[in-house]
């Protein structure tokens, strides 16, 4: 009988535990037994283990003639798991991402946030004793100041917990913790260039971005002595980025209290002396004196204002309101507004670069038509370059320079082969050969290359960093083009002025210019770099000099406009 009595007692304990957890009271059935009474021990407040519910030694029967016994009196057992417990509330709320995530935070990152909290037992990261921790306050300060970094604070909404009362407080605190984590993760990814997908703007914008994973961000912030500084450090730490950030603050401080926002609609090109109904709008746009009603003359004052605007925006300052100038006006943006947008666009492209450019690295700034070699931040060599034409742009990306080729062959790219050679060869099969090119036929395919020599399109030397775009740096026989102020003439590769000095820099002491030049005319030779050098083909239309002056270069490929428009379209 002892075994059956214990089984009944276990059933009673389980029923009581289930009833307390689910909040439903259930009456226990009368269990026949020969024991006079059973005493259940009072369970712990936080948990009940049915193994702790054991019978005492049975007492003798009250009387031999009794047929049934009334059930014993049991103590009240209250078992509760409250939703206000932080870890329990988090575990419940984290499954419904609609209540805490952000629109631009993808499913992969949401899943990583869930995994992070699961690994820490669903304990809150930013809230303790019903309030934000000091660490949370530092994170929130960085998010609030996002505009100083060219980011939009509205993308990182701060959770509110003040004044929360009642049964929903635990749920609200859990949501607040998750929301702050989501905002911090999105900020960190945006700071490293996650706001835009460059290849969607142009197939020739292919930087290798370093976007941090959500779990890594939260681990780093959670372990940091100063989590605010750790979050802010996801922004580029390069000197030019910091200089542009300071210029952004200056431009915003100079913004007029009441900025005229006048939209100038599209229309025909306007020149000095022409009549057009848009002229009064242009006058209002630049704050010029109002003329008598009906005077729509595009006069000297209007043309001068347009010329000043063009000059400030890197356009030909001819005073003519054409399609390009009208587009630069941005449908009513002020000069300061346009400059602000361009600074932010350039800051955004700094985010696309690696955090570590390399102690010794090569940087080509396409709009500036310059190449520089830097060693621990110091410029040790710079030279003029020729870059791709607007219709054949030089791509933007980072790679590693590996070797140099002296006396290179020039393999005619497929695009040039199709557009320039094949049409002529269809009329004259000897067209390429008569111009000194080698024609190579393999079955139905054909390729053309130019042998080494004085007339070779690559000159005497080329600098190789194999990449998806098949571009490289090289010499050129057309030396006179380096004298031009604007040098966008190539099919996409970068032509370097004074290439043998550049070679001496990248190859080191073992290959002085004198040794390199002795190889000229002796067939194609490959020389490997003693140490691989990172190379970055960049696109910055705004740079800040050491004296703090902002220098503008022409937006030859319209990347500023693409980036600025894409950032506007985020909201």
Q: What are phi and psi of 455, to 5 degrees?
A: -90, -5
- Record the tokens describing residue 160, joined without a space: 């509110």
Check: CB of residue 284 under 8 Å from CB of residue 260: yes
Q: What's the DSSP call for residue 211?
A: P
Distance CA 281, CA 274 (A): 15
Helix (H) or strand (E) holding 446: strand 445-450
- Across the strands, what pairs with 374? 361, 379
Check: CB of residue 304 under 8 Å from CB of residue 282: no
Catalytic residue, chosen from 313, 361, 460, 474, is 474
The answer for residues whose C-beta is within 8 angstroms of residue 454's C-beta and 6 or more apart is: 477
Catalytic residue, chosen from 8, 361, 493, 536, is 493
> Going by DSSP bridges, is the β-strand pair 461-464/445-450 parallel, antiparallel, or unpaired?
unpaired
C-alpha pair distances (Å), 295 with each of 282, 291, 319, 415: 13, 6, 19, 52
Distance CA 393, CA 361 (A): 22
Q: How far apart are the first and last CA of the chain?
A: 75
Tokens 């057309």 correspond to: 478
Neighbours of 168 (CB within 10 A): 12
Q: Is 493 a catalytic residue?
A: yes
Neighbours of 299 (CB within 10 A): 16
Q: How many helices (H) and strands (E) does the chain have?
A: 19, 16
Active site residues: 474, 493
């Amino acid at each position: 009988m002892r075994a059956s009595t214990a089984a009944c007692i276990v059933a009673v304990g389980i029923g009581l535990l289930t009833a307390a957890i689910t909040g439903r009271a259930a009456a226990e059935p009368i269990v026949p037994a020969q024991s006079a009474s059973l005493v259940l021990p009072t369970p712990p407040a936080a948990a009940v283990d049915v193994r702790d519910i054991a019978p005492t030694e049975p007492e003798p029967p009250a009387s031999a003639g009794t047929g049934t016994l009334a059930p014993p009196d049991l103590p009240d057992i209250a078992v509760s798991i409250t939703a206000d417990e932080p870890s329990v509330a988090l575990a419940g709320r984290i499954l419904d991402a609609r209540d805490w995530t952000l629109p631009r935070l993808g499913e992969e990152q949401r899943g990583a946030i869930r995994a992070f909290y699961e690994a820490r037992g669903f304990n809150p990261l930013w809230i303790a004793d019903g309030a934000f921790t000091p660490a949370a306050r530092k994170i929130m300060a960085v998010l609030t100041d996002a505009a100083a970094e060219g980011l939009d604070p509205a993308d990182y909404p701060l959770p509110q917990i003040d004044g929360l009362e009642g049964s929903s407080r635990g749920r609200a605190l859990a949501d607040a913790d998750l929301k702050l984590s989501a905002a911090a993760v999105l900020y960190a990814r945006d700071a490293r260039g996650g706001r835009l997908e460059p290849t969607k703007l142009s197939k020739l914008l292919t930087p290798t971005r370093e976007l941090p994973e959500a779990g890594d961000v939260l681990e780093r912030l959670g372990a940091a002595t100063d989590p605010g500084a750790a979050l802010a450090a996801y922004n580029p730490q390069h000197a030019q980025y910091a200089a542009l950030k300071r210029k952004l603050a200056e431009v915003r401080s100079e913004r007029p209290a009441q900025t005229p926002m006048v939209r100038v609609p599209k229309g025909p090109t306007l020149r000095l002396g022409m009549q057009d109904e848009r002229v009064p709008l242009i006058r209002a746009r630049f704050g010029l004196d109002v003329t008598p009603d009906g005077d729509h003359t595009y006069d000297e004052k209007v043309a001068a204002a347009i010329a000043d605007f063009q000059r400030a925006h890197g356009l030909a300052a001819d005073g003519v309101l054409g399609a390009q100038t009208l587009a630069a006006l941005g449908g009513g943006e002020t000069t300061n507004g346009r400059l602000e947008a361009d600074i932010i666009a350039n800051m955004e492209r700094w985010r696309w670069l690696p955090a570590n450019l390399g102690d010794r690295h090569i940087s080509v700034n396409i709009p500036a038509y310059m190449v520089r070699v830097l060693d621990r931040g110091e410029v040790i060599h710079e030279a003029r370059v020729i870059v791709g034409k607007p219709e054949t742009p030089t791509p933007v990306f980072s790679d590693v320079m590996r070797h140099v080729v002296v006396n290179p062959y020039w393999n005619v790219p497929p695009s040039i082969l199709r557009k320039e050679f094949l049409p002529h060869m269809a009329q004259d099969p000897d067209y390429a050969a008569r111009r000194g090119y080698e024609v190579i036929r393999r079955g139905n395919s054909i390729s053309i290359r130019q042998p080494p020599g004085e007339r070779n399109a690559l000159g005497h030397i080329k600098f190789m960093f194999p990449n998806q775009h098949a571009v490289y740096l090289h010499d050129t026989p057309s030396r006179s083009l380096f004298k031009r102020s604007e040098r966008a003439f190539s099919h996409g590769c970068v032509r370097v002025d004074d290439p043998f000095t550049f070679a001496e820099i990248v190859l080191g002491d073992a290959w002085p210019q004198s040794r390199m030049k002795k190889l000229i005319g002796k067939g194609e030779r490959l020389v490997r770099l003693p140490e691989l050098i990172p190379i970055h083909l960049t696109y910055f239309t705004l740079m800040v000099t050491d004296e703090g002056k902002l220098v503008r270069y022409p937006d030859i490929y319209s990347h500023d406009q693409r980036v600025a428009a894409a950032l506007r379209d985020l909201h």
